[in-house]
Structure 1
Amino acid sequence: MLELMIPFFLLLVILLLALPLIFIYLFIRITEEAFEQIGFGHWHASLMVFGSIIGSMIDIPLHSGVITTYPAFMVDLMGTMDVPVSFHPVRLLVNVGGCIVPVLVSIDLLRRHRAPVSTALLGAVVVAILTYTMAEPVPNVGITLPVYIPPVSAALVAVVLCRGYRTAPAIAYISGSIGTLLGADVMNLLTPGVLPALAPPSAYPRPLALSIGGAGIFDGIFLTGVMAVLLASLVVCLLGGGSCRSRRISVS
């Protein structure tokens, strides 16, 4: 009996050790599939995925030093508002993998005419308004948003706005990435009172680092684009009655 239990125990240990590798492999393959659905070849998609993983470890400062108060022109505009104008020192950063890569991918899609510019921008505006209204600043944490809201809204907006189903995944990616970036992050950071809410007076000596896309490949901006593409592709396949791969556009 003991001899039978030892191999089973070893098999269980190997399985537990392999689970993280299986998860990483599935995540990479699903992400590559999303990039392929919006028109990139396999090697281009793989390069973007691994570039995003490496870029997730890099933050670029948006401002030299720390910020403790709003600019003078905003203070003048906020004169009639009952909100603080100063806050705990913060450093504003932008993450390469979680923000810059999705923005560059969106620009490249528009440059290659994978989606109509006007439709993509309209979709981004709709998603930006929705994410802006639903985002919530959490002190010493950041701006939070229900994870399902941006990708689902981006996919639905893309399918509704898209005149031809072929371009829906690309529009979903742009709408989700740019819309979430503008609505949840940029517009909220520019809203009077949000920075004081994120960085209330604290005895903690170090400045609070606020990074747009700061969670890298697991940030809402990056994952929104990937999930929106997959959801839009699924809807296209169901409504179109065809294969997803038959609708893919290859990029040389």
Structure 2
Amino acid sequence: MTRYFNALATLAIFAIFLKLGSLTSVINKLQIGQQELAVGMGLATLGSLLGLQLFSLESTKHKHTPPIKLGVNLGGSVVPLLFLLFFFNQQSPQIQHVFILTALVTAVVYPMTRMDRQRGMVIYLFGAVISAALGALILDPNNYLVLAYSAAVLGTLIGGDLLHLLQLKKLKEMSNRTVFIGGGGILDAIFLSGLMAMMTAETFQQMQFL
């Protein structure tokens, strides 16, 4: 039920951005053609169906429980990083700005991520999206779209997933299960954070928020 609600909420947010013109403006400013957009969304959709197991984590509190298997969902984690490389080819924010803003978003996302005994890591997007959007507009007004996307994706990946991996070992309920980074596919926090950060930054820019 929660997954359906999240899907509807995501569609509603994208509809609002479309109504405001932010989505169209982002596509135009990044000079993304219809063919490139179709290929990108196709990769994300197909990749969301594929997961690759990497390694196992032994429980630290429950010595006799089976290990937790860790993997990556291609659509939810790998594809957003491929988009990042593509966007960097369109615009090139200064690398020091990427590091600074990624660190900020990581610091925001980390405490906003909770450990669920059934689903593993649950990340709340609001902090990543707002901090990445505002930070990008302040640090680099000329390349704020790609900077916002990069910081949101990397900050969510690091602060929401990677830094919480060791905590999974303490959850007995997760034993003998496979936890996929980016497991939500195209509805995963890593994938959505970057797209929403760009559109939020564009909306703020159009409103002359800063």
TM-score range, shorter chain: 0.7 to 0.9
Q: Kindly indicate whether residue 24 of structure 2 is the aligned counterpart of residue 46 of structure 1.
A: no
Q: Deviations over 1:26-64 (max 9, x none)?
A: 77x96974555444333212211121011100001112x
Distance 2:185 2:23 in 1: 16
Aligned 1:1-252 pairs, distance under 5 A: 33=24, 34=26, 37-63=29-55, 66-69=56-59, 84=61, 86=63, 88-111=66-89, 113-162=91-140, 165-189=141-165, 191=166, 194-197=167-170, 199-200=171-172, 207-239=176-208
AA aligned to 1:58 is: L
Distance 2:109 2:129 in 1: 10
Shift in Å, 1:85 = 7.2
Distance 2:142 2:40 in 1: 22
AA aligned to 2:45 is: I
| Length-normalised TM-score, structure 1 | 0.67
Distance 1:84 1:37, change over 3 A: farther
Please say if residues 91 and 143 of structure 2, whose CA atoms lie closer than 8 Å, have aligned partners that are also in contact.
no
Please say if residues 38 and 229 of structure 1, whose CA atoms lie closer than 8 Å, have aligned partners that are also in contact.
no
AA aligned to 1:182 is: I
Please say if residues 45 and 75 of structure 2, whose CA atoms lie closer than 8 Å, have aligned partners that are also in contact.
yes
Please say if residues 36 and 42 of structure 1, whose CA atoms lie closer than 8 Å, have aligned partners that are also in contact.
no
Q: Provide the secondary structure at the position in 1 that maps to 2:92.
A: coil
Structure 1: which 4+ aligned runs deviate by more than 4 Å?
29-37, 85-88
Distance 1:214 1:226, change over 3 A: same
Distance 2:162 2:205 in 1: 31
User: What is the aligned residue count?
Assistant: 194
Please say if residues 32 and 42 of structure 1, whose CA atoms lie closer than 8 Å, have aligned partners that are also in contact.
no
Distance 1:177 1:170 in 2: 11
Shift in Å, 1:237 = 1.8
| Length-normalised TM-score, structure 2 | 0.79
**Percentage identity across paired residues of the two chains:** 23
Please, which runs of 5 or more residues in structure 2 have no aligned partner?
1-7
Distance 1:161 1:226 in 2: 19
Distance 1:112 1:157 in 2: 20
Larger radius of gyration: 1
